Amino acid sequence: MTHLGYLIAGWSIGLGTLAVYGWSVARRAKAAARHVPADRRRWMSAND
């Protein structure tokens, strides 16, 4: 396979960034949820 280095770099940066970003968003959300009362954690239940 030609250009193997470029291929590995492109795909791993692409999928890796998305995975790290997704993980960090989920983690930050979990941390933030601790400071919000249970009935206001979702827009559906917060009702405004």
Partner 1 sequence: MSSVGAASPQTAQAADYSVSSRGTRLLGVFILVSVPVLLLFAFVFTEADDTMEDAVRLLYIHVPVAVLTYVAFSLTAVGSVAYLWKRSRWWDTVAHAAAEVGVVFCGLTLVTGSIWGRPTWNTWWEWGDVRLVTTLVLFLVFVGYLAFRSVPAEPETRAKRAAVIGIIGAINIPIVNRSVEWWENNTLHQQSSLTDGQLEDLTLFTWFLGTVVLGAIFVWLLITRFRLAWLEEEIDRHGLVTALEERRAESHVGVEAAVGGSVVGGFQDNPGGPQ
Using CB under 8 A as the criterion, which residues of the chain lie in contact with partner 1 when the complex forms? 1-4, 6-7, 9-11, 13-15, 17-18, 21-22, 25-26, 28-36, 38, 40-43, 46, 48
- Whole-number minimum distance, CB 8 to partner 1, in Å? 10
Minimum gap (Å) between residue 26 Cβ and partner 1: 6
Q: How far apart are CA 3 and CA 19, in angstroms?
A: 24
Q: Is the dihedral of CA 45, 47, 24, 36 positive or negative?
A: negative
Are 46 and 39 in contact by the 8 Å Cβ rule? The answer is yes
To the nearest whole angstrom, how small is the minimum distance from the Cβ of residue 38 to partner 1? Answer: 7
